[in-house]
Amino acid sequence: MNKEETNAFQIIENVGGLDNIARLTHCATRLRFVLKDKSKFNLDTIKKLPDVIEAVQSGEESQVVIGGKVVTYYKLISKQLSHTNETENIQESAKQNWLKKLVNDLVNIMAPLITAFIAGGLFKAIISILATFKVLSTTSQNYIVLNAIADAVFYFLPFLLAVSAARKFKTNEYIAMIIAGVLLYPSITQLANIGKPVFFLGLPLQLVNYSSSVLPILLAIWFMSFIDKFLEKFIPNSIKTTLKPLLLLAITAPITLLIIGPIGSWLGDGFYFVIKAINTYAPWFVPTIIGAFAPLLVMIGMHMALMPLAALQFAQFKKETIIGPGFLVANMVESGVAFAAALRLKKNEKNSQIAFSSGITALTGIIEPTLYGITLKYKRTLYCAIAAGGLAGLYAGITQIYSSALSPQSILTLPLFITSNPNNFVNAIITVLIAFVLGFIFTYFFAEINPSSNSNDDQHSKISSNSNVTAGNDDAIVAPVTGDLEDLSEVKDDIFSKKTLGDGVAIKLNDDIIASPANGSISSLFPTGHAFGITTNEGVEILVHIGIDTVNLKGKGFKILAHQNDRVKAGDPIVNIDRQYIEKQGYDLTTMLIITNPNNKKIKLKTTGKVNTGDKLN
């Protein structure tokens, strides 16, 4: 088991286990869990895990901010989720505010699409650069094809929304895509060009251009989910396989064309007039507010709630001023904050390098490392970021800059501001400079950044070895604790008994000291003390897990005696437990030794008999 696999297992434990996960999605930087019991989300413990930047409870979602490795962790955790767990419903509170639920639903639907927006936005940015420098003519066939590739994600946005909404509302994804196809079917849209009234089933059919639209398909799939539940309940099982999808399409498609689609379009038009009024009478308002308070939105994980509004605006105007200018400002401010912190922390080389790296990351549009590692950590830094973001956003609003595509903003997507109006790109560059410089200056001069290290790395003491233990050779695996051996299949935890993590042995312990089972290094050490990983000198990876579900104690009853990355010998004490306290809380202290990665070696361990700490098992 490598570091990411160990951390993924640790995350699973600290969200309440696989059975507590009702749904898991991810966006560009964070894992988004919907848990059956949110009280099992161990916020403080998760924050301390390796690779975890922050943990946030936001509405119905429990979020783990990972950053660039989010897809890796999503795949590792998803692999462990059974199909049953992924499709289970959760009991939602009857008292949940409808507006809060609406925002949560929109966030859950839009979050998985962020990678598509990044791909389309960056592709369009590259084309803009090529066209600006005359490498590519806007009248050439190459430009037409490349532009089609870039625009496809936005033109066919109803398809993407259909799949994501179907997953959220738990209905058939393929029928949902067919509904999107009906809205965008060329023959239907061409009827609008005839200039005569169009009727369907004797009823007038309002023809609308649904390309890039948002609300019509979301309302349609939401409606379809109720039809799906009704049909599931009343159609006999013997004919459900064929009759249910037929009726689902036959009912949803006509009602969508006749009623739901036009209603969604009218609502979109209403939003169009609101945005038009704001852009006419107060164009500075939205960029200023978003530029100033984007860090707070990101902090609570609600920045994705703006994506549907931005998509609605883009569908109407073919330009975007909600996310583009505001988050371009916020990202550049956070970069300036990070570089200022790096300079202020130069006496602490490690923290200075971390700040510098966070500044580079913020330039590319990922601000969580800076936000949680600097902006929210040091006094007055958040106020500096808000002030800088507000002033830079004000300039962006006054000059009315806009993005030519719906995309997360960074220094890499700056070409999206290249439009037929050359001043748009110029003012976007000035906005970037204002945001970065003000973020840097305000932080450097006004934030309280302490250059002294808050790390305990220099305070690590050498582990005192258990003098009663003989370490043996590097290939030796020894008992980490005194007790009675037991086969893993007898353990009352499916993850271990089914050997999901690997083969090994269980020990019914009767000692308080848990030791290293081999010569090597501590490759992982859970902050709660209930588990640790050892990588032996021969590359074998071992997990020692103390007790079942003991992660829920959040470290109580466990005293960590070592540190991650320490070099250890077999028998060196790693954790001291308070057996009386833990057992009094009702926990089973059976300790598992798992070979998570045998490194191509054949390892056979004893599974019966009594052992003392340091007794050889292989």
Catalytic residue numbers? 27
| Closest listed residue to residue 180, CA positions, set 204, 163, 192 | 163
Q: What whole-number distance in Å separates Cα of residue 38 and Cα of residue 21?
A: 10
Q: Rounded distance, CA 567 to CA 520, Å?
A: 6
Question: Residue 360: what residue type?
Answer: I
Contacts 24+ apart (CB under 8 A), 319-322: 319/402, 319/403, 319/404, 319/419, 320/402, 320/403, 320/404, 320/405, 320/406, 321/275, 321/279, 321/283, 321/286, 321/287, 321/400, 321/401, 321/402, 321/403, 322/286, 322/290
How many whole angstroms separate alpha carbon 375 and alpha carbon 354?
13
- 194 CB neighbour count, 10 Å cutoff: 9
Q: Report the alpha-carbon angle 420-143-126, nearest 5.
A: 70
Contact criterion met (CB below 8 Å) for 30 and 66: yes
A 10 A CB-CB count for 610 gives 13
User: Among 78, 80, 84, 44, which Cα is nearest to 64's?
Assistant: 44
- Three-class SS of residue 564? coil
Give the number of other CB atoms < 10 A from CB of residue 600: 7
**Alpha carbon of residue 459 to chain centroid:** 33
Single-letter amino acid, residue 618: N
* Distance separating alpha carbons of residues 326 and 103, to the nearest angstrom: 20
The answer to whether the CB of 522 falls within 8 A of the CB of 574 is: yes
Phi and psi angles of residue 139, each rounded to the nearest 5 degrees, phi first: -100, -5
Residue 48, CB-side half-sphere exposure with 13 Å CA sphere: 15
Contact 141, 127 (CB under 8 A): no
Quick one: tokens of 420? 């037929």
Of the candidates 570, 562, 611, the residue with the CA atom closest to the CA atom of residue 591? 611
Instruction: Say how far apart CA 433 and CA 343 lie, in whole Å.
Output: 19
Query: Do 456 and 600 form a contact (C-beta atoms < 8 A)?
Result: no
For 85, counting Cβ atoms within 10 Å of its Cβ (0-12 exposed, 13-18 middle, 19+ buried), the class is: middle
151 contacts: CB under 8 Å, gap ≥ 6: 120, 124
